[in-house]
Amino acid sequence: MRPSPLLLLVLVGCTPPPEAPVPIADPAGWMVAHADAFLSDRGQRRAWLESSLWQPEVPYARKRLDGYALPNGGWDALPEMAARTAAVQTDGSTGPWRTLPATPPSDIAGWRALGERVFHELPMRRDAYVEWLADRPELWARAGVQTEDGALGGLTRFVDWRGETRTGITCALCHRAEGQPGRAARGLDLGWARARYVESRGQAPGAYADWGRGRMDVTDDPVDDPLAIADLWTVRWQSHINTSGAVRLDTPAALAIRFETQFITGHAFATRPPRHLVWALAIYVLTLDRPPSAVPVDHPGAAVFADRCAGCHDPERGYAGDLVSPAGFIGQTGPAFSPMRGTGYLKVPGLLGVGEGGPYLHDARFDSLSALVEAGHPYGDPPPPAQAAALVDFLRHL
Amino acid sequence: MTPILRPVPAALALALFGCEQISQPPATVSDGLTAAHVGGHLGSYRDCPDEAWENHNADDAAPDRVAGAPDADCDGACGPLNCEAARLTFTLSNQSDVDAEGVEPVALFLLDRDGLEIVELPIAATLDEDGQPFDGALDAGGQALLHIEFVGLLDAAALVGPPADGDGAFDWRSGVQLRLLIGAATHDDTGLDTPLVYSLPEIDT
């Protein structure tokens, strides 16, 4: 996995990535301090949006710049969703209706607790295939919606702007697994579910059938580029989000705006979420934690990591990093050039929990850490066998 | 269906429309109604391509499909359809001291890259904020959030063409602009041009 990214850029002569913002040390504290500005100052929200969309001509950015926090009209004028939801039960029925609080909390514990509820209860989008799947419990295990222990999460019912009961998906569907919020649901196979749905309508499944577990194509464009569902534990240390880094996290507010606009597009521009709920959700995601790493002192792989990997994967930032040019990468670099979100770069993901299961890389091309290391990661020469073994063992402890 | 090129500038279109197609009392309140774009999309027609503008019969009544509603004619494979009518949401403000009556969106056009009207898109319904049919009344000083559902397009960009200043990298599904004209019995016509509007994505998180 040598050389370092800076050296690689020099070697291949590519454009250096933009200067990355320095993540705020206490993002939750920052968010509590700035909650009033987010909730009441449209101009401030607009400024945060514009600052975060560092490539404004990318269609993903342009849509948001055309609609969000405008002086007159725009998505701010959409009606707020009534935050009343009911979990889909294991027999397909609708559970008890519950309502998320209508007023913002006053302290960080309250914000985080609200964010946890939002993570599990707020429908971030609705789709015809989800409605179809929700009515077919016999398909849930295969689709990975229901895990082997029978647990079910992420499907929720809500009332849309017309007053009709719909079924949507929450953050937990894709970003909770094995009881751990923030862990990618690597068993989830929504491509399979989509394929079965379109087949039920007499249509060919197309690329959906090839997504595989733990992968989703998240951009509606002609390019077939399913991506691995990401763990969320290291968002707090990321300078950018989305695989191509289309959103710059120069402030934590950018994450809340990302969630708010994600909701609006996911609900077909008919409604917007109560704003304090997405603020709470961002606080929750930025404070997600996992069991502490147990890397043995003086692990021989640590030196290999420091030599070959730490130039991009910063140990002080959850082993996350900034943007890198895909020039010289092996394998798929499509997300860097996605028609909807391509920036020309790829985000360096965090590695906390990387040893708990693959597949690996943004396109999930490697099933195991060994395969990834032996292939030379996205670029560079594979380490010698002894170093590779030490490095793989080190990574398994992160 | 071949689009009819109608190179009519916005101001002229409003004037023509107001004179020839809307029956108005002699004196209407000028500059009283203003509209602002809020959001919208060009619809999703995967399961109902015959309902899109390209295949839509102009003699048919525009469909009023509820998003996610099952196919009424399904035969054994019933379920929600990937089919959703195009929708445009806007605010309408009455800044005059006269109650507005007979307010009605009367025409919606797809614009080319030069802002000229090239296709008229049939309006299916005008709904208030709660999804109920709009009664056409707007109190003096009041504001309403309104939705219109209309016959959208399978491939609007193909009709409009790529942006003149596009570099080709992101032009495959560039948005298109729409022009909405709104008439009223008591007030002068108004309208709005939208920012870029897109088809409803099936996958976008």
Q: Are residues A312 and A174 in the same domain?
A: no
* pLDDT given at position A217: 86
Which residues have C-beta within 8 Å of that of residue A262, sequence separation ≥ 6? A124, A125, B205
Q: Is the pLDDT of residue A292 over 90?
A: no
Residue A59: the pLDDT is 87
Q: How confident is the model at residue B78 (pLDDT cuts 50, 70, 90)?
A: low
Read off the pLDDT band of A223 (50, 70, 90): confident
Whether residue A250 is contained in a domain is answered as yes
Find tokens 């709009």 and name the residue.
Answer: B134
d(CA B138, CA B183): 13
At residue B13, does pLDDT exceed 60? Answer: no
- Shortest CA gap A366–chain B (Å): 24
pLDDT confidence tier of residue B159, bands split at 50, 70 and 90: confident
Higher pLDDT, A157 or A203: A157
- The alpha carbon of residue A109 is apart from the nearest alpha carbon of chain B, in Å, by 28
Q: What are phi and psi of B198, to 5 degrees?
A: -125, 165
In a domain, A255, yes or no: yes
> What span, in angstroms and rounded, lies between the C-alpha atoms of A4 and A314?
12
Supply the pLDDT for residue A2: 47
B20 vs chain A: nearest CA distance in angstroms? 30
**Residue A303 belongs to domain spanning:** 5-20+294-396
CB A100 within 8 A of CB A114: yes
| pLDDT confidence of residue B88 | 97
Least confident window among A42-46, A358-362, A388-392, B133-137: A358-362
What are the pLDDT digits (tens) for A315-346? 999 999 999 988 877 767 788 888 888 999 99
**Residue among B147, B195, B202 whose CB faces A220 most closely:** B202
A280 and A312 belong to one structural domain: no
Per the document, the length of chain A is 398
B125 contacts: CB under 8 Å, gap ≥ 6: B62, B64, B133, B148, B149
A199 and A328 belong to one structural domain: no
Interface with chain B: mutation pick from A194, A201, A271, A340, highest number of B CBs within 10 Å: A201
A26 is a domain residue: no
pLDDT at A10: 35
Pick from A227, A258, A286: which residue ends a domain? A286
Task: Tally the domains of chain A.
Answer: 2
Which positions in chain A touch B81 (Cβ < 8 Å)? Answer: 128, 201
pLDDT of residue A227: 86
* Amino acid at position A60, single letter: Y
Residues in chain B: 205
pLDDT at B203: 78
Q: What is the CA radius of gyration of chain B?
A: 18
Instruction: Name every chain A residue with its beta carbon within 8 A of the beta carbon of B131.
Output: 161-163
A13 located within any domain: yes
CA separation for the pair B71, B93 (Å, rounded): 37
Query: Which of A264-268, A293-297, B74-78 has the weakest average pLDDT?
Result: B74-78
Per-residue pLDDT tens for A135-144? 999 999 999 9
Do residues A52 and A172 both lie within one domain? yes
Whether residue A67 is found in the same domain as residue A169: yes
Closest by CA position to A373, among listed A354, A388, A357, A390? A388
Establish, for the pair of chains A and B, how many residue pairs have beta carbons separated by less than 8 Å: 123
Helix H or strand E encompassing B41: strand B33-41
H or E element, residue A111: helix A108-121
Chain B residues within 8 Å of chain A (Cβ atoms): 36-41, 46-47, 66-68, 77, 79-84, 87, 89-91, 129-131, 145, 147, 169-170, 172-175, 195-196, 198, 200-205
Contact A63, B198 (CB under 8 A): yes
Instruction: Report pLDDT for B17.
Output: 46
Q: Where are the beta strands (DSSP E) in chain A?
A: 84-87, 98-99, 125-126, 155-159, 165-169, 176-177, 180-181, 215-216, 227-228, 240-241, 247-248, 323-324, 346-347
Domain match, A182 and A77 both: yes
Q: Which of A260, A286, A312 is the last residue of a domain?
A: A286
Query: SS3 of B11, please?
Result: helix
Q: Which amino acid, residue A299? A: H
**B39·A59 Cβ contact <8 A:** no
Contact A214, A221 (CB under 8 A): no
**N-terminal to C-terminal alpha carbon distance within chain B:** 34
- B31 pLDDT band (50/70/90 cuts)? confident
Residue A27 maps to a domain: no
| Same domain membership, residue A271 and residue A184 | yes
The β-bridge partners of B61 are none
Query: Do A59 and B79 lie within an 8 Å CB cutoff?
Result: no
Residue B144 neighbours by CB under 8 Å, 6+ apart = B91, B92, B128, B129, B134, B138
Task: Tell me what the pLDDT averaged over chain A comes to.
Answer: 89
| Inter-chain residue contact B84 with A200, CB threshold 8 Å | no
Specify the CATH number for the domain of residue A380.
1.10.760.10
Over residues A124-137, mean pLDDT: 92
Query: Considering the entire predicted model, what is its pTM?
Result: 0.89
Kindly state whether residues A329 and A379 are assigned to the same domain: yes
- B171/B136 Cα distance (integer angstroms): 39
Better-predicted residue by pLDDT, A106 or A364: A106
Question: Residues A260, A315: one domain?
Answer: no
A114 within a domain of the structure (yes/no)? yes
- CA distances B16 to B21, B22, B80, Å, are 8, 10, 42
Residues A387 and A315 in one domain: yes
In this structure, is residue A30 part of a structural domain? no
Assess whether pLDDT exceeds 70 at residue B77.
no
Contact A214, A185 (CB under 8 A): yes
ipTM reported for the complex, 2 dp: 0.85
Specify the pLDDT at position B79.
Answer: 61
Kindly write down the DSSP assignment for every residue of A267-324, as one continuous string: TTTS-B--HHHHHHHHHHHHT---SPP-PPTT-HHHHHHHHHTTTTSBGGGTTB--EE
Check residue B174 and give its pLDDT. Answer: 67
Q: Residue A24 is encoded by which pair of tokens? A: 């705020």
Q: pLDDT value at position B167? A: 54
Structure confidence at residue A159 (pLDDT): 95
pLDDT tens digits, B87-124: 999 999 999 999 999 999 999 999 998 899 999 999 99
Share of chain A above pLDDT 90, in %: 62
Kindly determine whether residue B130 and residue A161, on different chains, have CB atoms separated by under 8 Å. Answer: yes
Half-sphere exposure of A142 (CA within 13 A, CB side): 11
Kindly report, residue by residue over B35-60, the tens digit of the pLDDT.
Answer: 999 999 999 988 888 889 988 776 65
Instruction: Tell me what pLDDT residue B158 has.
Output: 82
Tell me, yes or no, whether A237 and A103 share the same domain.
Answer: yes
Q: Are residues A217 and A257 in the same domain?
A: yes
User: What's the confidence (pLDDT) of residue B169?
Assistant: 47
Instruction: Indicate the pLDDT class of residue A380, thresholds 50, 70 and 90.
Output: confident
Query: Which of A250, A270, A286 is the last residue in one of the domains?
Result: A286
How much helix, strand and coil, in percent to the nearest 5, is found in chain A?
40, 10, 50
CB spacing of A78 vs B91 below 8 angstroms: no
d(CA A229, CA A249): 19
What 3-state DSSP class applies to B80?
A: strand
Quick check: is A179 in a domain?
A: yes
Lowest mean pLDDT among A331-345, B132-146, B179-193: A331-345
